[in-house]
Amino acid sequence: MSNVTRKLLFSDLFKGIELDQLRIPNTLQVPDDFYQNLLDYCLERSYLNHISQWDQFAQIPTAPKMVTWLKMVRLPVHPGNIQDYDLLSRWQGVLSSLHAWGHRLLFLLNRVHGETNLYLGTCSFQKSFSSQDAIEQIREAAAGSMPGVELHAMEPEETYTQIHSTMANYRALGAITGIPSFRKDQKKGSLQTLDSLAFGIRDLQGREKDYGLLIIADPMPDEEVADTIQKMRRLGSEIHKNVNRTVTENESQGESQNKEAALGAMAGIAGGLLGACMGVSFLAGSSLMRLMSTGVGGMFGLNKQISMNFSRGISTQYLDKFAQYAEELIDKHIERLKKGRNLGLWNTGVYLLGNTRKDIHTVGGMLRSVYSGDETYLEPIRIHTLKNHSGAMEIVKNQLDLIPLVDAQEALESGFQYEQDWHLFGKAYQYLSTPMNTEELSLASSLPRRDVPGLRFVKTAVRFANNPAPLTGDAITLGKVVDTGVVQSNDYKIDPHALVRHGLVTGSTGSGKSTTCKNIIREIMDRKIPVLIIEPAKDDYIRWALEQNKILPEEQQFQIYMPGTSEIEGVSPTPLHLNPFQPGAVAGAKIDLMTRGEKLTALLNASLPVSDILPVIIDETVYQYLYLTYRNAFLSGEMEQPHTYPRLEGLKTVAKEVLRMRRYEQKVQENIGASLETRFNYLTRGSRGKILNVGISTPWEDLFGRPAVINLSRITNEKDRALIMSVLMLSLYEYRISAYEYDKAYRKEAQKNRLLHLTVVEEAHNVLMKPHGDYGGSGNPQQAVADLFTNMLSEIRSYGEGLLIVDQVPTRLIPDVIKNTNYKIVHRLTAPDDCQVMASSLALREEQKSLITALGIGNAIVCGDMDDAAAWVKMNLRKEKTHGI
């Protein structure tokens, strides 16, 4: 038969036959309910929704556990920006360490009577470890990960009073389940903390509510975690097969008019999943099992014949959204558990304690806002308020244990065995708890970041140098190095001879700077190096020196000078005499009166109100006065030291003669003479006159060659103190030069950069204040002493003299005090400008600068020229042999 004939005959066979009438409709239903219930019951754990309705939880017999507690007294925070100290990551480090050791963690936040207390408890699941060993390891882990934290080991009496007795008073119990997670749009640990809970809650009348948050976290062994991951992977593999399904319809017709429709589907979907992954007795009788085990599919077909041959195929693609979402959740849970294998996975019970069910609801709502984050949908946060007589209270309060998800009545009727695993993913899911990795647990127990009553926060979370410059030979130990608030074992030492390059000690009142200075002074005196203390205000050092004299050998006792006072604590101070014309010099050395006169002239012109011609007249008066007294010896430049020197009062007579020789008009002469007489009289009367208008100065050896204290607190005028200080410092400078040039042994030691004498200037702003200029010729002795001191700082170290400047306000001092001092010891300062100038001089980072305002008493930031960087030092408190020091 030809092709044309065959075609015509074949088409004729189908005349009057509609192919649509031959189609068999597909009545197969895709098993959506299986995956929906898998999501609800196994992954999102919706079976927890009705826990609050349970009447009785089974009391599972367990061996008693000995729990030891620590009280968290204070937490470290960054002194500047609280966000710069990652407390959350450090807390995760503590938790990870505990997991590695296999210790149960108990975290208790107890808010009682308006105070918040944090407690860490533990017991070990390892027989080789006692609870005491475990708590010691917690302390070590916390100190290592969160330097500066203070933990108090609680005695049994304290544990009973502060923990057990307060927990016994609570009458309501709740639980929180679900997976805490962070919010990606916020920095970790910034808002998701327990601050709101630690701050407390109050009713409309302002009355404080008592409540507690108890977290019980049991470390899960790695093999258990790995087994759970394997179960989830197997389940995920089975689910993946059914995410996309294809249904095919085939129709065929031949000459016998055969019609066949066949529908294919994956046989035994539910049975395969349940057999591969679930196969457990708990689910067998449950509604979940009944829903998922509904018979599905097989091969369905229908066969009809027509005596013709014709075929047509139709395929339909089905996407099961429930299966797809279940697969996604499985993958997310696997990722969580993999993180748990890194830092630890915990079976975590979060329990709320309060006096009323309303309190439980309130605290639970606050916690939900803290715990809920971007990934919490994996298992939503649920708040369960448990019935008072359900037995849950006894499990949590008395046994400090996790609540098992076993109904006591049903277990009794069915003979359920407590050790039986009924959950698809294992025993950890059979408690009123949530398996959490360490990251999630750190959020659940996120430490507060704010000061609250009962919990202190110290701004010590700053790193400083831990390795001071190594010193060989003799050294003074200032104290112990501190890092992030923790006192280290290594000492901070200074070379006593490095003080020849001077030092600055600063700090606010009561910060410990005077104690630091006294320790340095005693250490220097122990090395037989004389010390001069100049005290412009107060009388602290005078009284300290008098106490020291009671225990010091006679040759090392302080000589006491206190102008304006005849007696202090039963001791008569030695009179202080400073003849301005007498150069400072060691015994037997020659002096240069001409140079001294020039320096004195500059000092007087700076100190007295002078203008116009007066400075020239004063200069000529001083020159003539010394020349008329010593004649050729004065002109020779160097001369032997005389037994006496001219007094200041003699300047008035010489001034009149100088004016007469200048042949001024009588009126001009009288005016200038009256001005000079007034100024010279000023120098010779009152307390300053008793010091300056003398024939011979106090022996320089007594002032600069042995321990001495000069107290100027009774000199009330600042300009007078500055003038006396100028004469004193000028004489000290000259004395050191004289000793260097005259005494070969002294010069040899000075050339080795050794400290041969130390001068301490306490409350230095009284004499070394930054000058504000000389207005209208009124005289500015502060400028004179500032200029003199600036020169001394630069030059006097070459002669074996060290200067230790002490003051509360460094910005008030002349700039060279900060620039030209080697050792800088900075105690607590509060003014921003003071902090800034000292931080710059110490080359501190911004976060280190912030610590200056938070330093505790006796703590200081120290840096010298041999240090690589500044160190934080806890200063030693020197033990004296007598009281009151």
Residue type, 657: E
840 within a domain of the structure (yes/no): no
Place of tokens 């130990």: 477
755 within a domain of the structure (yes/no): no
Alpha-carbon distance 224 to 232, whole Å?
A: 13
Q: Are residues 411 and 291 in the same domain?
A: no
E-strand stretches of 380-515: 382-386, 434-437, 456-458, 476-483, 486-494, 503-506
Characterize 383-396 residue by residue with b for buried, 16 or more Cβ atoms within 10 angstroms of its Cβ, and e for exposed. Answer: bbbbbeebbbbebb
Q: Answer whether 480's CB lies under 8 Å from 802's CB.
A: no
Please identify, among 665, 697, 729, the residue that sits at the C-terminal boundary of a domain. Answer: 697
Alpha-carbon distance 608 to 585, whole Å?
A: 26
Bridge partners, 505 (sequence order)? 806, 825
pLDDT tens-digit series, residues 400-419: 999 998 876 666 666 666 66
| Backbone torsions φ then ψ of 500, nearest 5 degrees | -65, -15
**Best CA proximity match to 400, nearest among 604, 164, 672, 591:** 164
Alpha-carbon distance 835 to 817, whole Å?
A: 15
Who wins on pLDDT, 263 or 40?
Answer: 40
- Give the three-class secondary structure for 843: coil
- pLDDT exceeds 70 at position 649: yes
Who wins on pLDDT, 571 or 192?
Answer: 571
| Backbone torsions φ then ψ of 76, nearest 5 degrees | -85, 145
658 within a domain of the structure (yes/no): yes
Cα angle: 258, vertex 263, 267; to 5 degrees: 140
State mean pLDDT over 755-779: 77
**Best CA proximity match to 851, nearest among 80, 76, 74, 75:** 80
Q: Answer whether 701's CB lies under 8 Å from 532's CB.
A: no
Structure tokens at 681: 């009289």
398 within a domain of the structure (yes/no): yes
Q: Answer whether 45's CB lies under 8 Å from 51's CB.
A: no
- What's the DSSP call for residue 776? T
Q: How far is CA 480 from CA 495, 684, 874, 885, in A?
A: 16, 51, 5, 21
State mean pLDDT over 201-218: 91
Alpha-carbon distance 556 to 757, whole Å?
A: 13
550 within a domain of the structure (yes/no): no
Q: Answer whether 514's CB lies under 8 Å from 528's CB.
A: no
**Best CA proximity match to 436, nearest among 95, 67, 192, 47:** 95
Helix (H) or strand (E) holding 315: strand 307-319
**Best CA proximity match to 371, nearest among 435, 439, 440, 436:** 440
404 within a domain of the structure (yes/no): yes
Characterize 268-295 residue by residue with b for buried, 16 or more Cβ atoms within 10 angstroms of its Cβ, and e for exposed. Answer: ebbeebbeebbeeebbeeeebbebbbee
Q: Are residues 98 and 211 in the same domain?
A: yes
- Give the three-class secondary structure for 537: coil
pLDDT tens-digit series, residues 529-565: 999 999 988 899 999 999 999 999 998 999 999 999 9
Who wins on pLDDT, 677 or 274?
Answer: 677
- Give the three-class secondary structure for 684: helix
Q: Which residues neighbour 8 within 8 Å (Cβ) at sequence distance 6 or greater?
A: none
Q: Look at 306-310, 444-448, 851-855 and tell me which has the smallest mean pLDDT.
A: 306-310
Alpha-carbon distance 13 to 595, whole Å?
A: 142
Q: Are residues 130 and 213 in the same domain?
A: yes
* Beta-carbon count within 10 A of 416 CB: 16
Alpha-carbon distance 423 to 401, whole Å?
A: 20
Q: Look at 173-177, 370-374, 471-475, 572-576 and tell me which has the smallest mean pLDDT.
A: 471-475
Q: Are residues 232 and 209 in the same domain?
A: no
Q: Answer whether 580's CB lies under 8 Å from 572's CB.
A: no
Q: Answer whether 313's CB lies under 8 Å from 454's CB.
A: no
Q: Are residues 141 and 238 in the same domain?
A: no
**Best CA proximity match to 607, nearest among 694, 693, 720:** 720
727 within a domain of the structure (yes/no): no
pLDDT tens-digit series, residues 781-806: 677 777 778 888 888 989 999 999 99
Q: Are residues 242 and 123 in the same domain?
A: no
State mean pLDDT over 358-379: 93
Q: What is the mean pLDDT of the chain?
A: 83
Orientation of helix 718-742 relative to helix 781-795, angle to 10°: 30
Of 7-21, 145-159, 323-337, 731-745, which one has max mean pLDDT?
731-745
Q: Which residues neighbour 222 within 8 Å (Cβ) at sequence distance 6 or greater?
A: 341
| Backbone torsions φ then ψ of 112, nearest 5 degrees | -135, 130
- pLDDT exceeds 70 at position 189: no
pLDDT tens-digit series, residues 693-720: 999 999 999 999 999 999 999 998 888 8
- Give the three-class secondary structure for 825: strand
Place of tokens 């962070």: 182
At residue 291 the predicted structure's pLDDT band, cuts being 50, 70 and 90, is very low
Q: Are residues 242 and 385 in the same domain?
A: no
Please identify, among 650, 681, 697, the residue that sits at the C-terminal boundary of a domain. Answer: 697
Q: What is the predicted pLDDT for the residue at 74?
A: 86
Q: Write down the number of H helices and E strands in the chain.
A: 31, 25
Q: Are residues 597 and 676 in the same domain?
A: yes
Q: Are residues 247 and 314 in the same domain?
A: yes
Alpha-carbon distance 644 to 656, whole Å?
A: 23
pTM attached to this predicted model:
0.75
Q: Answer whether 347's CB lies under 8 Å from 277's CB.
A: no
Who wins on pLDDT, 115 or 306?
Answer: 115
Q: Which domain holds residue 678?
A: 577-697
Q: Are residues 664 and 621 in the same domain?
A: yes
| Backbone torsions φ then ψ of 739, nearest 5 degrees | -65, -40
Domain count of the chain?
A: 3
Q: Answer whether 779's CB lies under 8 Å from 823's CB.
A: no
- pLDDT exceeds 90 at position 732: yes
Q: Are residues 268 and 350 in the same domain?
A: no
Question: Is the Cα dihedral 747, 753, 756, 762 positive or negative?
Answer: positive
Q: What is the predicted pLDDT for the residue at 623?
A: 94
Q: Are residues 217 and 312 in the same domain?
A: no
Q: What one-character-per-residue DSSP string does 403-420 give? A: PB--BHHHHHHHT--TT-
| Beta strands 434-437; 103-112: pairing state | unpaired
Who wins on pLDDT, 477 or 58?
Answer: 477
Residue type, 867: D
State mean pLDDT over 281-303: 36
Q: What is the predicted pLDDT for the residue at 288?
A: 33
At residue 202 the predicted structure's pLDDT band, cuts being 50, 70 and 90, is confident
- Give the three-class secondary structure for 89: helix
Please identify, among 697, 732, 759, the residue that sits at the C-terminal boundary of a domain. Answer: 697
370 within a domain of the structure (yes/no): yes
Residue type, 880: E
> Considering the chain, what percentage of its residues have pLDDT values greater than 90?
51
E-strand stretches of 484-603: 486-494, 503-506, 531-535, 559-561
Q: What is the predicted pLDDT for the residue at 452?
A: 82
Q: What one-character-per-residue DSSP string does 694-732 give? A: -SSPSPHHHHHSS-EEEE-TT---HHHHHHHHHHHHHHH
